[in-house]
């Protein structure tokens, strides 16, 4: 197909829009739980922070700021990872723009930390990242 300039587009349909709602519900639950963990640790959190900066646009799943240290935390949450390369590219953009996004909220940052939180599904464990340190070192 590459020689023809064609693209294969496979779509999964399950009970109409119910699949999207199911994925959105899982994603929302992950974001909510993460915020429940961060707030008692002194982080101010904002969920689904949208941005448009210099023609770049997107949404940060969780943007958190620790006032005492000035550190920002950019969190990408995924219940399903359909395209790892696309996810990492979008995540890089969000991390790069995080100080500007935070400044618009009045948050002054001294640095940016980043993390990706994946649902603990067998598919994610197998296909996205190694599950243990020994595998990572290899």
In a domain? residue 133: no
CA distances from 72 to 66, 94, 108 (A): 6, 12, 9
In a domain? residue 3: no
In a domain? residue 8: no
Number of domains making up the chain: 1
User: Would you state the pLDDT for residue 104?
Assistant: 96
28, pLDDT greater than 60? yes
pTM: 0.74
Mean pLDDT estimate for the chain: 83
CA–CA distance, 64 with 74 (Å, rounded to integer):
7
In a domain? residue 5: no
Residue 103 pLDDT level (bands cut at 50, 70, 90):
very high
Is residue 8 exposed (0-12), middle (13-18) or buried (19+ Cβ within 10 Å)? exposed
26, pLDDT greater than 90? no
CA-nearest of 106, 99, 110, 98 to 70 is 110
CB atoms within 10 A of CB 98: 24
CA–CA distance, 121 with 80 (Å, rounded to integer):
8
Any idea what the CATH number is for the domain that residue 89 is in? Answer: 3.40.1350
In a domain? residue 54: yes
In a domain? residue 43: yes
State the residue range of the domain holding 41: 17-126
Helix-strand-coil split of the chain, %, nearest 5: 40, 30, 30
In a domain? residue 137: no
In a domain? residue 4: no
């Amino acid at each position: 197909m590459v020689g023809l300039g064609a693209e294969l587009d496979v779509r999964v349909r399950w009970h109409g829009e119910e699949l999207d709602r199911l994925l959105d519900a899982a994603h929302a639950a992950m974001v909510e739980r993460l915020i429940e963990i961060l707030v008692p640790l002194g982080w101010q959190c904002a969920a689904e922070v949208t941005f448009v900066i210099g023609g770049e646009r997107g949404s940060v799943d969780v943007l958190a700021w620790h006032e005492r240290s000035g550190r920002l935390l950019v969190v990408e949450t995924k219940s399903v990872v359909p395209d790892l390369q696309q996810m990492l590219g979008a995540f890089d953009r969000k991390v790069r723009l995080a100080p500007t996004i935070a400044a618009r909220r009045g948050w002054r940052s001294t640095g940016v930390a980043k993390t990706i939180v994946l649902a603990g599904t067998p598919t994610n464990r197998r296909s996205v990242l190694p599950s243990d340190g020994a595998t990572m070192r290899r």
